[in-house]
Amino acid sequence: MSLKVPKANNIQLFKEGYKHLSGIEDAVLRNIQAVAELSDLVRTSFGPNGRNKLVINHLGRLFVTSDAATIIREIEVVHPAAKLLVMASQAQEAEMGDATNMVLIFAGELLKKSEHLLIMGLHPSEIIKGYEMACAKALAELEQLSSSSISTPLTQASLATALSPAIASKQYGYENILSSLVAEAVLSIMPPNPKNFNVDNIRVVKIMGGSLNASRVVQGMVFGREPEGMVKKATKAKVAVFTSALDVAQTETKGTVLIKNAEEMLNFTRGEEKHLENIIKEIADSGVKVVIAGSAVGELALHYFDRFGLGVLKVLSKFDLRRACRVVNATPLARMGAPTPEEAGYVDLFETVEIGGDRCTVVRQLADGDEGFDPTTPAVERSRTATIVLRGATANHLDDLERAIDDGVNTIKGLFKDGRLVPGAGATELELARRVDTYGAGLKGLAQHAVKRYASALEVIPRTLADNALGGAEGNEIVSRLWAKHEQKGGEAWGVDIEAEEDHGTLDASAHNILDSLASKSWAIKLATEAAVSVLSVDSIIMSKPAGGPKIPQQSGNWDNDD
């Protein structure tokens, strides 16, 4: 008979204030509930009929959007497990610029499906193994579902068709206008090798007023302000870019000046003026016609710039200043003085135009075929830029339109890397669900349960599209009809008809040109599975005591009132 060893009580493993949760009940299921809550939050914003969320961030700024990337960035998720999903979604945003909501919804659904298996007694490692097998199978099958690819040579119509589904998911009803604007902007700055396309060369300027129909593409970089001085236009001009203030130098020390007569009074600032005049004359003599300033421009400096016929544009954003340097191929100078030939930039056209009652400045490089193009101009390396000028009634609406355009431009960038397209409207996900389910049925061992759950989780995409468009009961019927269509031969492209005008809420996505990027779907499935597996592999949560002292309670009333 073995002796009973007494247990030591109160072993202090952690510092006071630590929280330690472990086991299926306390750690895994709690994490799954937190992730499910985040997933449900953004689910209603998925697809063309997704609802907007009104988010007020910690700075009091208002956001009205259905863009999942913006929502999760502004709501500041603090739960550690939910943060893993947020990170996966941000990785999708960085990689493809779109399908962030799909990552959150799919990962959330995978974890919800795993909850039942955990309660039934399956070990998390078995579920993880099954999910990884199912993910590999889904990605392999996805490669075979490509129905078409982006056509070459690129035309505005073909680009607009490829863009339309991505933009419609954010701005349903405006997708035709926005996709044609983006396609026009992309084609106007297309490099000889499309793989070198830079998304930063397409800018958006938002001008309040008017309607979206008044939006247009302007070749060049548009700044929402007029030049500072009298010179409003220059052609074939040398450009100098300054990051320092263009003004009389200020000394750091203070002094007292004793003036005895009127002549001394008149001569007091003449030396400074003469010095500033000489500097600006040097700039003008070097051939510069346009000055771009990244800081303040003094009244006296402006007077001399006008006298020597130099155009002055103030660009206060350091990011826009960098882009302007890239467009004109100039080196930003931290000193005030004439630029060397290597430091000076060049611009074909610097002009002020009126857009919807607002005076804007356009910095533009002409291309071969543009009116006024001169082949004898200096052959400098130029970055051509296109700016989409957006019009709208409210600042929030303009911000949301900008996000839709950003998604569209990123979709184009992704398609230039991998031009394959798959049927949209939830058709691809349902077909993958069918094929993974068949694969799971042929497996042996406990992992097959997780594979089949993975297949049913893929259903969440068409189901959510149908729920958001037509309501819950109707959504279930549409998913059942889609399963019937996909079981038939050649039914791979059937998806959800959100307008429910044809065939009881289903349509052939390929025939209606509803096509999604294969690469975007592939990354979303991969990242969502990785996030779900990361959450499932956690068996303990250890939280240290937050740093800092006790929080001071908010006082009611005025702090100066007597108690």
37 and 130 share one domain:
yes
Q: Is the pLDDT of residue 37 over 50?
A: yes
Query: 373 and 434, same structural domain?
Result: no
CATH of the domain at 245: 3.50.7.10
DSSP per-residue codes, 432-463: HHHHHHHHHHT--STHHHHHHHHHHHHTHHHH
* Domain end position, chosen among 357, 382, 407: 382
Shared-domain flag, residues 239 and 299: yes
Same domain? 364 vs 437:
no
Q: Which residue has the tokens 């068709």?
A: 161
Answer yes or no: is 331 within a domain.
Answer: yes
pLDDT value at position 381? 45
Give the per-residue pLDDT at 542.
67
Question: Do residues 336 and 231 share a domain?
Answer: yes
CA distances from 518 to 172, 419, 429 (A): 22, 8, 11
402 located within any domain = no
Q: Is 224 strand, coil or helix?
A: coil
Domain termination residue (choose one: 349, 382, 415): 382
Residues 61 and 112 in one domain: yes
- Provide the pLDDT for residue 471: 66
Quote the pLDDT of residue 199: 78
Average pLDDT estimate for 12-37: 69
Least confident of 17-31, 62-76, 462-476: 17-31
pLDDT (mean) for 25-53: 79
* Confidence grade of residue 550 (pLDDT, cut at 50, 70, 90): low
Kindly state the tokens that stand for 266. Answer: 């008149």
pLDDT digits (tens, 9 = 90+) for 58-68: 788 888 888 77
pLDDT at 474 over 50: yes
Non-local CB neighbours of 106 within 8 Å, separated by 6+ positions: 457, 458, 460, 461, 524, 525, 528
Residue 35 and residue 535 in contact, taking contact as beta carbons nearer than 8 Å:
yes
Q: What are the tokens at 176?
A: 């035709």
Q: Which pLDDT band, with edges at 50, 70 and 90, does 16 fall under? A: low
- Radius of gyration, alpha carbons of the chain: 31
Higher pLDDT, 137 or 274: 137
**pLDDT surpasses 70 at 6:** no
Say what the pLDDT of residue 380 is: 45
For 466-469, which contacts have Cβ atoms below 8 Å and span 24 or more sequence positions? 466/426, 466/496, 466/498, 466/505, 468/44, 468/46, 468/47, 468/49, 468/50, 468/51, 468/498, 469/47, 469/48, 469/49, 469/496, 469/498, 469/499, 469/500
Tell me the average pLDDT of the chain.
77
This prediction's pTM: 0.77
Tell me the three state secondary structure of residue 544: coil
Same domain, 431 and 360: no
- 278 within a domain of the structure (yes/no): yes
- In angstroms, rounded to a whole number, what is the distance separating the alpha carbons of residues 478 and 191? 44
What is the total count of domains within the chain?
Answer: 2
Checking if the pLDDT of 228 tops 80, the result is yes
Tell me if 188 is assigned to some domain: no
Are residue 519 and residue 429 in the same domain, yes or no?
Answer: yes
**Which domain, by its residues, includes 40?**
18-148+424-544
pLDDT value at residue 354: 78
Which pLDDT belongs to residue 315? Answer: 82
Query: Does one domain contain both 276 and 348?
Result: yes
Q: Tell me, what's the pLDDT at 472? A: 58
Per-residue model confidence as pLDDT tens digits over 191-222: 777 777 777 778 888 888 777 887 888 777 88
Query: pLDDT tens for residues 378-391?
Result: 444 455 778 888 88
